[in-house]
């Protein structure tokens, strides 16, 4: 009889807990909101090579970007996790070298697509912020 009474009390406590409000608010996500990619009206040519190397890179075509990420197309296969340095001419900003890490690759017979995560320092963050603002305001060079 005591076992039934104990089970009944636990069941009642559980039912009461379902109807009460939680004492703690749900945790708030701490990650910053991800910015949407800005699609370029024309593809931008960039040369990707290993960091510190000045030649023999491969050509990629940048099609969208934001301050943290770049998407591009390439004839040659990029490897996920690979660190590269993109050299490109940004209208209104000038010639820049941006360190990136290959985040993802989609294979295709027409050219491979890749997502690049920018590995910022103070200078590259300022460059990308300036360039994205110029693109959004349609006031490049």
Q: Which residue has the tokens 């593809």?
A: 43
Q: Please tell me the predicted confidence (pLDDT) of residue 110.
A: 79
Which whole number is the average pLDDT over 125-132?
Answer: 91
Alpha carbon distance 11, 4 (integer Å):
10
Asked if residues 88 and 72 have their Cβ atoms less than 8 Å apart, the reply is no
Question: Which parts of 20-140 fold into alpha helices (H)?
Answer: 122-136
Q: Hey, which of 25-34, 77-86, 105-114 has the most confident mean pLDDT? A: 77-86
Q: What is the pTM of this model?
A: 0.71
Q: Please tell me the predicted confidence (pLDDT) of residue 98.
A: 94
Kindly indicate the confidence band of residue 33, based on its pLDDT and cuts at 50, 70 and 90.
low
Q: Please tell me the predicted confidence (pLDDT) of residue 12.
A: 81
Residues 6 or more apart whose Cβ sits within 8 Å of residue 87 = 46, 47, 48, 49, 57, 95, 96, 97
Q: Please tell me the predicted confidence (pLDDT) of residue 57.
A: 86
pLDDT exceeds cutoff 70 at 82: yes
Q: What is the mean pLDDT of the chain?
A: 84
């Amino acid at each position: 009889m005591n076992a039934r009474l104990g089970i009944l009390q636990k069941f009642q406590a559980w039912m009461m807990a379902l109807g009460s409000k939680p004492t703690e608010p749900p945790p708030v996500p701490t990650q910053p909101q991800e910015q949407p990619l800005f699609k370029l009206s024309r593809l931008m040519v960039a040369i990707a090579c290993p960091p510190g190397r000045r030649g023999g890179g491969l050509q990629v075509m940048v099609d969208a970007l934001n301050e943290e990420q770049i998407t591009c197309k390439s004839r040659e296969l990029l490897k996920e996790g690979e660190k590269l340095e993109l050299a490109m001419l940004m209208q209104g900003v000038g010639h820049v070298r941006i360190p990136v890490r290959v985040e993802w690759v989609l294979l295709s017979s027409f050219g491979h697509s890749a997502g690049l995560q920018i590995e910022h320092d103070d200078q590259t963050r300022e460059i990308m912020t300036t360039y994205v603002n110029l693109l959004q305001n349609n006031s490049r060079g």
